[in-house]
């Protein structure tokens, strides 16, 4: 069993697997555009959580590599599309020009489409068909119209008078669903039982909420060079966030509360889950 609970160790595993991914049959332009965004760096949080989720359930991290890569592909696709002029119209992502700036809008859209579908090709490489099927369903539900896509729709169509309840649901879909699915897929790859998967799902949901609250804070207080993306756009575009709704202190309280709930969800698990615990605590330290 893999026992190293080092974020950098799991991140390096993800990077190596993503760099080696073949994108078989893709035209050179598509392959170049997909790799540009997929290999642009970042925290690899979703991939790392898939590997850590697998280990926490008694499995080997390498058994969850297809799930980790698939989660990162979905995340990269979502960023490409979010950055498009028709959506957030961003020109900087992970410290580099965004995909549509480099390749044009049409190729950026197609690169996102390619990464979305390639994620499920990647999951199909899981040797056990029952495990592969369960992961496909988990990721599809998290990424689709009831999950991440639905959250983006809500974000673009914010109703007048939207408040805390609307914000929680939008962020649960847009950010939380994929983070939750990463942990859940990792546990599925380890053959975890229903109770453990339920705990992992709950942990991931609260971790996603904490992550978004932290991200909202850093959009105001962070350094653009260190963050690698344009900051302050939430305020400039009058978006509803934890900070605009509750203020910086209130958003920090929300991050602490959701982190505590994430840790509570792991209370029935043994020391194998310590990596997940440390990851939640590490995320909170970004604003403390």
CA dist 48 and 87 (Å) reads 28
- The boundaries of the domain holding residue 96 are 7-284
Contact 209, 176 (CB under 8 A): yes
What's the mean pLDDT in 251-272?
A: 95
pLDDT at residue 268 in the model: 82
User: What is the spatial distance between Cα 222 and Cα 231, in angstroms, rounded to a whole number?
Assistant: 8
Query: Is residue 251 included in any domain, yes or no?
Result: yes
Q: What proportion of the chain, given as a percentage, has pLDDT over 90? A: 84
Answer whether residue 52 is part of any domain: yes
> What is the reported pLDDT for 286?
85
pLDDT at residue number 6: 85
Q: What is the CATH number of the domain that holds 258?
A: 1.10.600.10
Residue at 268 is within a domain: yes
User: Is 1 inside any structural domain?
Assistant: no
The answer as to whether 26 is a domain residue is yes
Quick check: is 2 in a domain? no
Least confident of 85-99, 140-154, 205-219, 232-246: 232-246
When pLDDT is averaged across residues 240-266 and rounded to a whole number, the result is: 96
CB 215 within 8 A of CB 207: no
DSSP state of 176: I
Q: Report the number of distinct structural domains present in the chain.
A: 1
pLDDT at 130 over 90: yes
């Amino acid at each position: 069993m893999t026992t190293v609970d080092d974020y950098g160790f799991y991140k390096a595993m993800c990077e190596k697997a993503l760099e080696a991914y073949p994108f078989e049959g893709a035209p050179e332009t598509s392959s170049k555009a997909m790799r540009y965004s997929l290999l642009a760096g970042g925290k690899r949080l979703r991939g790392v959580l898939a590997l850590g989720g697998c280990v926490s359930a008694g499995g080997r991290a390498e058994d969850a590599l297809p799930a980790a890569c698939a989660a990162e592909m979905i995340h990269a696709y979502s960023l490409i599309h979010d950055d498009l002029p028709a959506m957030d119209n961003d020109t900087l992502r992970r410290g580099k020009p965004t995909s549509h700036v480099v390749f044009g809008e049409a190729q950026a859209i197609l690169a996102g489409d390619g990464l979305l579908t390639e994620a499920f090709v990647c999951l199909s490489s899981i040797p056990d068909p029952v495990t592969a099927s369960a992961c496909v369903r988990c990721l599809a539900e998290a990424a689709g119209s009831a999950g991440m896509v639905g959250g983006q729709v809500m974000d673009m169509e914010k109703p007048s008078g939207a408040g805390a309840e609307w914000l929680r649901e939008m962020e649960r879909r847009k950010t939380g669903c994929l983070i939750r699915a990463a942990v859940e897929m990792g546990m599925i790859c380890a053959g975890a039982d229903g109770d453990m998967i339920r705990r992992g799902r709950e942990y991931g949901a609260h971790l996603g909420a904490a992550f978004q609250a932290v991200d909202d804070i850093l959009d105001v207080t962070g350094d653009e060079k260190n963050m690698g993306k344009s900051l302050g756009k939430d305020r400039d575009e009058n978006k509803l966030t934890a900070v605009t709704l509750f203020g910086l202190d209130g958003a920090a309280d929300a991050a602490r509360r959701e982190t505590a709930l994430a840790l509570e969800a792991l209370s029935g698990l043994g020391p194998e889950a310590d990596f997940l615990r440390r990851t939640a605590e590490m995320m909170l330290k970004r604003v403390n």
